[in-house]
Chain A
Amino acid sequence: MDFPENLKYTKTHEWIAVQGAKAKVGVTEHAQKEISDVVFVELPKQGQAVQQSKPAAVVESVKAAFDIYAPVSGKITGANKALESNPGLINQSPYVDGWIFELEISHPAELNALMSAAQYREMVLQAPKH
Chain B
Amino acid sequence: MLISQDDRLSFEKSKSGRRAVTLPSARFSGESPTKAVSSGLLRQTSIGFPELSESDIVRHFINLSRKNFSVDTHFYPLGSCTMKYNPKVNEWAARNEKFTALHPLQEESTAQGMMEILWELEGGLKEISGMDRFTLQPAAGAHGELTGMMLVRAYHASRGETKRTKVLVPDSSHGTNPASAALFGFHVVEIKSDSRGRVDLEDLKQHLDDHVACLMLTNPNTLGLFEKNILEITKLVHQHGGLLYYDGANLNPLLGIARPGDMGFDIIHINLHKTFSTPHGGGGPGAGPVGVKKHLIPFLPGPLVEKAGGSYRWADAGPQSIGRVKLFHGNIGVMVRAYVYLKMLGKEGLRKVSEAAILNANYMKECLKDTFTVATQGPCMHEFVLSIKSLGAQGVHAGDVGKRLLDFGFHAPTVHFPLVVPEALMIEPTETESRETLDLFIEAMKAIADEAVSDPEKVKTAPHTLPVRRPNDVLAARKPILSYRDQLREKMLLAEAAA
Residues of chain A having any CB pair with chain B under 8 Å: 37, 39-40, 60, 62-65, 87-88, 130
CB contact between A62 and one of B417, B419, B423, B473 (< 8 Å): that residue: B473
- A64 and B419 in contact (CB under 8 A), knowing A39-B478, A87-B478, A88-B478? yes
What is the CA–CA distance of A62 and B476 in the complex, to the nearest angstrom?
A: 10
A40: which B residues are within 8 A, CB to CB? 477-478
Task: List B contacts of A37 (CB < 8 A).
Answer: 474
Q: What are the residues of chain B within 8 A of A88 when measuring CB–CB?
A: 478
B386 to chain A, nearest CB (A): 15
Q: Are A39's CB and B416's CB within 8 A?
A: no
21 sample A-B contacts, Cβ–Cβ < 8 Å, listed by A number: A37-B474, A39-B474, A39-B477, A39-B478, A40-B477, A40-B478, A60-B477, A62-B473, A62-B474, A62-B477, A63-B416, A64-B175, A64-B416, A64-B417, A64-B419, A65-B175, A87-B478, A88-B478, A130-B389, A130-B422, A130-B423
Residues of chain B within 8 A (CB-CB) of A62 are 473-474, 477
Shortest CB distance B15–A (Å) = 38
Which 8 A-B pairs rank lowest in CB-CB distance, beginning with the nearest?
Answer: A39-B477, A37-B474, A130-B422, A62-B473, A39-B478, A63-B416, A62-B477, A62-B474
CA distance A65 to B419 in the complex (A): 10
- Contacts of B473 on A, CB cut-off 8 Å? 62
* C-alpha spacing A37/B474, complex, angstroms: 7
Chain B neighbourhood of A60, CB < 8 A: 477
What residue of chain B has the Cβ atom nearest to residue A40's Cβ? B477
Q: From B422, B423, B477, name the one whose CB has the most chain A CB atoms within 10 angstroms.
A: B477
CA gap between A30 and B198 in the complex, in Å: 29
**Interface set, chain B 166-196, CB cutoff 8 A to A:** 175
Q: Smallest Cβ distance from B207 to chain A, in angstroms?
A: 14
CB distance from A67 to the nearest CB of B (A): 9
| B 235-271 binary contact with A (CB < 8 Å = 1; else 0) | 0000000000000000000000000000000000000
Which residues of B sit under 8 angstroms from A65, Cβ to Cβ? 175
Q: What does the 1/0 interface line of B467-480 toward A look like (CB < 8 Å)?
A: 00000011001100
A-facing mask of B214-245, CB < 8 A → 1, else 0?
Answer: 00000000000000000000000000000000
Whole-angstrom distance between the alpha carbons of A41 and B417 in the complex? 21
Q: How far is the CB of B4 from chain A (nearest CB, A)?
A: 29
User: Which of B416, B423, B478 has most A Cβ within 10 Å?
Assistant: B478
Other than A39-B474, A39-B477, A39-B478, give 14 A-B pairs with Cβ distance below 8 A.
A40-B478, A60-B477, A62-B473, A62-B474, A62-B477, A63-B416, A64-B175, A64-B416, A64-B417, A64-B419, A65-B175, A130-B389, A130-B422, A130-B423
Q: Interface 1/0s, chain B 410-434, versus A by CB < 8 A?
A: 0000001101001100000000000
> Please, what's the 1-or-0 string for B65-102, where 1 marks a CB less than 8 Å from any CB in chain A?
00000000000000000000000000000000000000
Per the bound structure, the CA–CA distance linking A87 and B475 in Å amounts to 11
**Bound CA–CA A59/B416 (angstroms):** 17
CB distance from A26 to the nearest CB of B (A): 19
Q: Which B residue's beta carbon lies closest to that of A36?
A: B474
Nearest residue in A to B415 (C-beta to C-beta)?
A: A63
B474: chain A residues at CB < 8 Å are: 37, 39, 62
**Distance of A63 Cα from B414 Cα, bound (Å):** 12
B420 to chain A, nearest CB (A): 11
A107 CA to B474 CA, complexed, in Å: 39
Closest to B419 in A: A64
CB-CB under 8 A from A130, the residues of chain B are: 389, 422-423
Please, which residues of chain A bring their CB within 8 A of the CB of B417? 64
Closest to A37 in B: B474
Provide the bound-state CA to CA distance between A64 and B398, in Å: 14
